[in-house]
Chains A and B, each alone.
Chain A
Amino acid sequence: MDTAAGCTEPRAAAVNITVCVKRVPDTETRIRIADDRRGIVPDGVKYVLSPYDEFAIEAALQLVEEAGTGEVTLLSFGSGAATESLRSGLALGAHRAVLLKGEPTMDGWATARVLASELAGGDAGLVLFGVKAVDDDQQQVGPMVAELVGRPCATSVTAMEVGGGVVTCRRAVEGGQEVVEMDLPAVATLTKGKYEPRYASLRGIMMAKRKPMIEKEAPVVEPGLAVEALQYPPPRPDGRIVGEGVGAVGELVRLLREEAKVL
């Protein structure tokens, strides 16, 4: 299918969109470090789609709905269990899902190369990411993929509009919102803003079961870093209740000044 980049009609924004999504431990989950200290014990951990990836899915769905044309593909690099997260994205309305089977590490550059191997030469006019995955919190995979596939990339995007072969993005930056225009095809990483993730409807969940789910082996890439060990953070020193109500304010200020020396 033709992408908007090749369109001559300014209004017909037939953009296919690929959304890269990661399966991560639910933020409520208690983390237990494995005996080899290289990772966490997966048993008992509830996994979800990373919350920022949900903004990206919502943005993609709204853009194709507005255009009345175009399809949304979900792409994930992860273990077989990620199909479950991909299905939940299909239930929201995405058209198909691709799973690159493998074990992602903390190495965002490795993940970016794996994802780019699938995206290079694809027909997606837009490739969307979450601004960060909430497990490793690297904030890097989106712009790295953009460099690999040679496309412009706007990060921390809160709202988008597509038209005339161009995507206009609002970015959350220090002190305000920056407006950036990119020629399609382009890459964006999404943060909270215009796109409130929808809930899956019963119909959506039923339909998701019949949507295409393509599974392939992820290419093996050379690692650029090695996780030596995980450890629990040192506990914060025991705090104390200074007192109750306004009567405690004087003592608090004295402690902040004389003991903690922060005022």
Chain B
Amino acid sequence: MTKILAVAESKHGAVAGVSRETVTVARTLADSLGGTVEVAVSGAPGGELAEWGADRILRFDPGGEDAGGPDPFAAALSDHIRTHGCRAVVFAATATGRDLAPRVAARLGVSLLTDCTGVEVAGGALVTTRPVFAGKALARVRALASPALLSIRPNVFPPRTAPREGVRDELHAGAAGNRPGYRVVGFEASQGASLDVSEATIVVSGGRGMKGPENWHILADLRDAIGETAALGASRAVVDAGWRPHAEQVGQTGKTVTPKLYFAIAISGAIQHLAGMRTSGVVVAVNRDADAPIFGVADYGIVGDAFEVVPKLAEAIRGLRQG
């Protein structure tokens, strides 16, 4: 029986939302190959993923002397794959997935197709589409080795329910595989930002036209009006000026985002910025300059002063919520 392994992520002891997408892609592959979906998860029960098409949930819990980091899970996954075999492994191209997947690939000695926006089975082989050269081209890439390892870009594959009955969590001992010499010794939370810009379904990004960090409350207010699915982003000009942390930068040398709605506020739309957001669902631009290149990729634009338009926008969206 062909097996497809989806690697789920956990966040504060629960399965991360993006994992539904990972499981959905695994389900699609399993259906076209006539196989089953196994889901591997560490640090959370994964039972709810049966809803999205998991046939079997494997829980890998960190071992006793776990020093943190991606190595224990990478070791456990690669051991499992080596012993039980599988046709393909699907990760999410999140910060966590990008840290984990190459380690698993290298342990198995196979290539990895990162950040795919399309996945299909063609002529019995796995073929993926992925953006290259800052989104200026798309590459169709065929996996030659087995298992085929790939990671999917978040927010691109809509989760599809495919409920499975009687799926149980099976506990697997975590492999004692932490590479000696890697210890997590501390964590400093940054203020605010709870949702990473690359994982938000709505992004409110600000550019140099916002004039200074003291004006960011205007954008934060729009984000708050939208709710907890939204996160703040920024152009590089803003990050370079020290107004916002690099973690919020969208673009070629920042994060790649694919929200269903992207607000570009007082951002000119330089090619390197577009590289990070052009695969967004709907793009809204607010810019004083009617000739700003951002209007070339925006689905809807308002030519106007962000300081006037954005507060009104936040107000209107709040009204929508309450009405």
Contacts and interface: CB of A to CB of B under 8 A. Distances in A.
Interface of A: 25, 27-28, 30-31, 33, 40, 51-52, 106-110, 112, 134-144, 146-148, 151-156, 158, 168, 172-183, 186, 191-193, 223-233, 236-237, 239-246, 248-250, 252-253, 255-257, 260, 262-263
B261 A262 contact: yes
Contacts of A262: 202, 260-261, 281-282
B95 A110 contact: no
Contacts, number: 261
A177 B127 CA distance: 36
Contacts of A224: 110-111, 143-145
A252 B270 CA distance: 24
Contacts of B218: none
B161 interface: no
Contacts of B65: none
Given A183-B180, A224-B110, 16 more contacts: A31-B137, A108-B112, A136-B132, A142-B102, A174-B94, A177-B187, A186-B181, A225-B142, A233-B137, A233-B278, A239-B296, A244-B304, A256-B282, A257-B320, A260-B261, A260-B300
Interface of B: 69, 71, 94-96, 98-99, 101-103, 105-107, 109-115, 127, 131-145, 179-190, 193-194, 196, 199, 202, 226, 239, 246-247, 249, 252-253, 256, 260-261, 271-272, 275, 278, 281-285, 290, 295-305, 308-309, 312-313, 316-317, 320
A27 B114 contact: no
Contacts of B138: 230-233
Contacts of A28: 271-272
Contacts of B102: 108, 139-144, 147
B131 to A, nearest CB: 7
B111 A107 contact: yes
A109 to B, nearest CB: 4
A181 B187 CA distance: 12
A176 B106 contact: no
Could you tell me the dominant secondary structure of chain B's interface residues? mixed
Q: Which of B188, B256, B299 has the most CB of A within 10 A?
A: B299
Given A178-B184, A183-B181, A109 B112 contact: yes
B182 A27 contact: no
A256 B136 contact: no
27 contacts: A31-B133, A52-B253, A138-B114, A140-B105, A144-B102, A168-B185, A179-B184, A180-B184, A181-B182, A191-B246, A192-B239, A192-B253, A224-B110, A224-B145, A225-B111, A231-B137, A233-B131, A233-B135, A239-B285, A241-B301, A241-B302, A244-B304, A248-B304, A249-B312, A250-B316, A257-B320, A262-B282
A206 B196 CA distance: 44
A154 B182 contact: yes
A51 B272 CA distance: 12
Contact of B302 (A168, A180, A252, A260): A252
Q: Which of A31, A52, A142, A224 has the most CB of B within 10 A?
A: A224
Q: Which of B96, B183, B278, B302 has the most CB of A within 10 A?
A: B302
Contacts of B113: 225
A260 B313 CA distance: 16
Nearest to A234: B138
A152 B181 contact: yes
A236 B264 CA distance: 16
A239 B280 CA distance: 13
A175 B189 contact: yes
A143 B106 contact: yes
A246 B272 CA distance: 29
A143 B99 contact: yes
Contacts of A146: 103, 106
A151 B71 CA distance: 11
A229 B129 CA distance: 10
Nearest to A109: B111
